[in-house]
Amino acid sequence: MKSVVDGYAAIYDAGEQGRREQYRSLVNHYYDLVTDFYEFGWGQSFHFAPRRRGESFKASLLRHQHYLADRLALKPGMQVLDVGCGVGGPMGNLARYSGAGFVGINNNTYQIERAKHHTRDVGSRCRFIHGDYMRIPEDDDCYDAAFAIESMPHAPDKAGAFREILRVLRPGACFAGYEWCLTDDFDPENAEHQWIKNEIMVGDALPEIASMPEICDALRTAGFELLEATDRAPESDPGTPWYRALQGRDLTLSSIPRTPFGRALTNLTLRVGERLRLFPEGSRAVSTLLNAAADALVEGGRSGIFTPMFFFLARKPERPEG
């Protein structure tokens, strides 16, 4: 693990151009390192959600996923592409919810193994492709819908990624997603804003973070008709903002590792565990990286300069007549 930590750091330090060129290795190293930590601390769905008053964290994630399925009108008989499917949490839930058939594309081998495991009860309707969403190894016009939940922030070229999704959709089919974006409150001249943005990028393996208008432009440039685009973060109950789970303020067992006490305990456990060779060398560095990323995300949310839930719904135009 130590060599993967070093490999990740080296790519990251190569600057924006280097990160864009080596995006596959950057993302792969990152998810090799963090997948077990994410599953332990977050569950099988690696994304955020706006939370209603009194709603549990898990229930909010499921509702956020169902919202996409409803907007895409997913139903039995449809073939749906999940772009950057993670460990299959959302895909399994949507297969159970909608009855549609799903194909998940992901460039991380370990995550695909986990996804097969998590979707085994709906396995006949879930298939996986180990591949890069910048070059989807599928025919043109073969999907009835597609979605991307917080996976596009890793794309080195948004319009290029959207163009590839457009290609595999049938004419008239829709693509929906949640994107990580800077809001209009982000001020590039503000050093603190830049610091938060940079910490989010380093801690989450991102080449850059787009603004909301940039995402809309990239969808149109790729050839989509943009039907809707809106930030869902303001829908959160003010007492339970989307970043609350990162603050360890929920009174649940799984939130303990995110409290200051839990972080200190995890750090000590990993330090001793690494010495005794119970955990691979580098585990503590990964935990530290994730804690720094979590703090930056909280600051991004609290200051209002960042959202992880910019929702869009876009359609591939029908083929011109004649």
Ligand X SMILES: C[S@@+](CC[C@H](N)C(=O)[O-])C[C@H]1O[C@@H](n2cnc3c(N)ncnc32)[C@H](O)[C@@H]1O
Binding interface with ligand X (CB under 6 A): 27, 31, 45-47, 84-86, 89-90, 105-108, 111, 132-134, 149-151, 154
Token pair in block for residue 172: 């008239």
Shortest Cβ 322–ligand X spacing (Å): 37
Q: Is 81 or 270 the residue whose CB approaches ligand X more closely?
A: 81
As measured in angstroms, the least distance from the Cβ of 309 to ligand X is 11
Residue in 113, 150, 225, 321 annotated catalytic: 150
Cβ density class 130-167: b for 16+ within 10 Å, e for less: eebbbebebeeeebbbbbbbbbbbbbbebbebbbbbbb
Helix (H, G, I), strand (E, B) or coil at 116: helix
Nearer to ligand X, 85 or 182 (CB): 85
| Least distance CB 157 / ligand X (angstroms) | 10
Q: Is 167 in a helix, a strand, or coil?
A: helix
Residue type, 59: A
Q: Which is nearer to ligand X, 105 or 145 (CB)?
A: 105
Cα 44 to its chain centre, rounded Å, is: 12
Exposure of 283 by Cβ count < 10 A (0-12 exposed, 13-18 middle, 19+ buried)? buried
Q: CA 178, 125, 136: angle at the middle one, nearest 5?
A: 55
Rounded to a whole number of angstroms, the minimum distance from the CB of residue 307 to ligand X is 14
Task: Yes or no: say if 125 and 100 are a contact pair by the CB < 8 Å rule.
Answer: yes
DSSP-assigned letter for residue 89: H
Q: For residue 229, what are its two tokens?
A: 């685009």
Rounded (to 5) percent helix, strand, coil in the chain: 50, 15, 30
- Respond yes or no: is residue 150 known to be catalytic: yes
Please identify, using beta-carbon distances, which residue of 132 and 250 lies nearer to ligand X: 132
- C-alpha span between 14 and 107 (Å, rounded): 21
Judged by CB, which is closer to ligand X: 163, or 271? Answer: 163
Q: How far is the CB of 206 from ligand X (least distance, A)?
A: 10
The answer for residues whose C-beta is within 8 angstroms of residue 84's C-beta and 6 or more apart is 105, 106, 133, 148, 149, 150, 151, 152, 154
| Beta carbons of 217 and 314 less than 8 angstroms apart | no
Q: How far is the CB of 274 from ligand X (least distance, A)?
A: 26
Length of the chain: 322
Measured from the CB atom, the residue of 111 and 266 that comes closer to ligand X is 111
List the catalytic residues: 150
